[in-house]
Amino acid sequence: MTVEDSLHELETASYFGVLRYPRSYTNIIYNFLTFPIGLTFFIYAWVCLPLFIGLSVIVVVLPVLYLFLWSLPRLILIIGYLTELFVGLPVPIKDDIPKTIEGSFFTKALNALKDPRIGKSLVYSMFLSLPYGTFVFSIMTFLLSLSGALIAMPIVLLVHYLGGITDSALDWMVANLTYGGTLAVCIVGFILGILLFPVVLQTSNKLAVFHARMVQKALVR
């Protein structure tokens, strides 16, 4: 089965049109989940694979190594269902349960290991999941913090004047600018924050769709 490469509806959304899609907001949650999920896959792969390979001289460990490799695409499939739930891209395979293979355990194991999804899942777990999750987490944290801080400027200024906040930047503005100048800076910041928020959603959607397609390709035989 091939992965559908047609554009996702969020990839063609207009600048402000992205605000009306519910998935624009669920994708933010999805993007933040890529970091803990990526960290889990990274630790699982880098701890288990070297350990089981090193102990593979002990014959009894070979079935455990096989089970580890066998589990990787099944775990990626869980992420696939998350992408279907949050991003809206379907899981490319529904028949993940292996077909019956005749022969001994080792014959079944060798035939099962020919599944290219195991190699793709291993590469994803060891080299892509954590770096991409860290990158996405950092970008989304920065953009959301920046947009939120700009939008909150008038509220923060109001609370500051009421004596509820002491901040060096606000103290400097109040001391060196007139009341009208301080208010103007806060209003401009508020407008910039509002204009930045669609950019945050557009970026979030593109990162989520890109990751979802990465997961899709890992699940294709």
Residues 132-141 as b/e (b if ≥16 CB within 10 A, e otherwise) read bbeebbeebe
Q: What is the pLDDT of residue 202?
A: 95
**CA proximity to 131, closest of 51, 209, 35:** 35
Beta-carbon neighbour count of residue 183 at 10 Å? 16
Q: H or E element: which one contains 127?
A: none
Q: List the beta strands (DSSP E) in 17-117.
A: none
For 106, half-sphere exposure in the C-beta direction (CA atoms, 13 angstrom radius) is 4
* Residue 171, pLDDT score: 61
Q: How far apart are CA 107 and CA 113, in angstroms?
A: 10
Place of tokens 């910039």: 192
Output the tens digit of pLDDT for each of the chain's 221 residues. Answer: 444 556 788 888 899 999 999 999 999 999 999 999 999 999 999 999 998 888 877 877 778 888 888 888 889 999 999 999 999 888 876 554 444 445 565 665 666 667 788 888 989 999 999 999 999 999 999 999 999 999 998 887 777 666 655 666 656 566 666 667 777 888 899 999 999 999 999 999 999 999 999 998 888 87
Backbone angles phi, psi at 154, to 5 degrees: -60, -40
What is the value of pTM for the model shown? 0.82
pLDDT computed for residue 75 by the predictor: 92
Cα 43 to Cα 126: distance, rounded to the nearest angstrom: 8
- Measured at the CA of 85, the angle between CA 81 and CA 90, to 5 degrees, comes to 60
Residue written as tokens 């990274």? 42
Q: Strands, E, within 48-148: which ranges?
A: none
The domain segmentation of the chain, as residue ranges, is 20-218
pLDDT at 159: 75
pLDDT score recorded for residue 97: 44
